[in-house]
Amino acid sequence: MNSQIEASTFSDMACPFLERPVDIEAQIIRRNLRQERVIRPRLDILSFTNDFLLERYHFSSQTIIYLNNILSPHFARQTHRGHPLSSEQILCTALRFFGNGSFLYNIGDAQHVSKATVCRCIRQVTLALKHFLYTFVAFPGHRCSRIIKEEFHRIAGFPGVIGCIDGTHIPIKAPSVNEGDYVNRKSFHSINVQIICDAAYVISNVEAKWPGSVHDARMFRACTLSARLARGEFSGYLLGDRGYPCQPYLLTPYPDPEPGPQQRYNLAHSRTRARIEMTLGILKARFQCLRGLRATPERACDIIVACVVLHNIAMMRRETWVAAPEVDPDNNPDIPVDATDGQAVRNAICSNHFQ
């Protein structure tokens, strides 16, 4: 009896050792039969012609290389594992979204990447561009104030202008927090963005943080630039529509102009201030994503700032991409009360230059 138990125990202990060579051989066979990882082909973006790049990314190959050189340190992956996207592919994926504002899976299909990858690329490039906000967006501009005033004066003879100001609404999806604050007077959810530009359509100041229900005058009153202008740090005037109060440094048109100097003042004011409406039209025509952002308010504000930085880079580098910009008259019906000293400055300019 004991001999049978010992034999059985020995047999059970011996079986695994006898079967091990078979298991190893089976694992080798399975390993050889395992399918290799399939990696979707990557696009060589810069191998395409400039016409192709301008149509899809709204930037030429030279500017894409320039953008990659300054932005890649902020989002390049520090690893050689797997098959990561190159910095050019990350950049162009985001540029494609900024340019046409399509759904993420459409961008992914066009770029041969997944929807999640597109989302990460947009976020990485957006945050990288925000680092350069104060490099490419500076008030009153990257040129001296005298040149800016001369360029504005050549438009319609309005003196001392250093910028034109206006607000524009960027539609967003309804947020889950404080949803009512983002409903504007036209009854859709938006971010109200304050933009100031020079005569060359370059944006010199941007405020992208206010819900759509906030009035243009309140945005300007709360911004840092308003306090700096009030302290007299800049010599010159901003031109705004009737949505702003007339201030010594922010001139608005006469509400009911009398024939003669006041009408000529209003005409010159309107022709000069048209630069901000054209700038907003160019911005939205170049970056179609700004016609409706499917993002949270915080991320939408970041994307708006990134598009402003890209707009200035495009204008400074004289990008040849053109589209028919739509004039963006976003006049605010609530007219604030003009300041007395602002009226005095407006009357003085009217008397001295438009007689």
| HEC per residue, 294-318 | CCCHHHHHHHHHHHHHHHHHHHHCC
- Contact between residue 234 and residue 187 where contact means Cβ atoms under 8 Å apart: no
Domain ranges of the chain: 45-131, 134-353
The overall average pLDDT reported for the chain is: 86
Extract the tokens encoding 177.
């927090």
- Contact between residue 171 and residue 189 where contact means Cβ atoms under 8 Å apart: yes
What Å distances lie between residue 310 and 25, 116, 135, 295, 313, CA to CA?
A: 59, 23, 12, 19, 5
Q: Say how far apart CA 127 and CA 303 lie, in whole Å.
A: 9
Question: What digits encode the pLDDT tens for the residues 271-286?
Answer: 999 999 999 999 999 9
Question: What digits encode the pLDDT tens for the residues 126-182?
Answer: 999 999 999 999 999 989 999 999 999 999 999 999 999 999 999 999 999 999 999
Instruction: Please report, rounded to a whole number, the percentage of residues in the chain having pLDDT higher than 70.
Output: 82
pLDDT at 49: 86
Cβ neighbours for 46, distance < 8 A, ≥ 6 positions apart:
61, 64, 65, 88
- Contact between residue 205 and residue 221 where contact means Cβ atoms under 8 Å apart: no
Q: Give the CA angle between residues 81, 56, 279 to the nearest 5°.
A: 115
pLDDT at 101: 87
CATH topology for the 45-131 domain: Cyclin A; domain 1 (1.10.472)
Q: Say how far apart CA 94 and CA 298 lie, in whole Å.
A: 18
- Contact between residue 290 and residue 101 where contact means Cβ atoms under 8 Å apart: yes
pLDDT at 17: 47
Q: What secondary structure letter does DSSP report for 260?
A: T
What Å distances lie between residue 89 and 70, 120, 127, 218, 255, CA to CA?
A: 15, 12, 16, 41, 52
Lowest-confidence range among 32-46, 50-64, 233-247, 257-271?
Answer: 32-46
- Residue 125's nearest CA partner among 96, 103, 100, 168 is 96
Neighbouring CB atoms inside 10 A of 224's CB total 10
Q: Name the pTM for this structure.
A: 0.84
Burial per residue of 82-101, b for 16 or more beta-carbon CB atoms within 10 angstroms, e otherwise: eeebebbbbbbbbbbbbbbb
Tell whether the model's pLDDT for residue 235 goes beyond 50. Answer: yes
- Residue 287's nearest CA partner among 208, 181, 174 is 208
Which amino acid belongs to residue 15?
Answer: C
- Contact between residue 234 and residue 228 where contact means Cβ atoms under 8 Å apart: yes
Q: Say how far apart CA 215 and CA 91 lie, in whole Å.
A: 35
Neighbouring CB atoms inside 10 A of 73's CB total 10
Cross-strand partners of 203? 197
Q: Say how far apart CA 231 and CA 234 lie, in whole Å.
A: 8
Q: Say how far apart CA 302 and CA 306 lie, in whole Å.
A: 6
Tell whether the model's pLDDT for residue 241 goes beyond 70. Answer: yes
Neighbouring CB atoms inside 10 A of 217's CB total 19
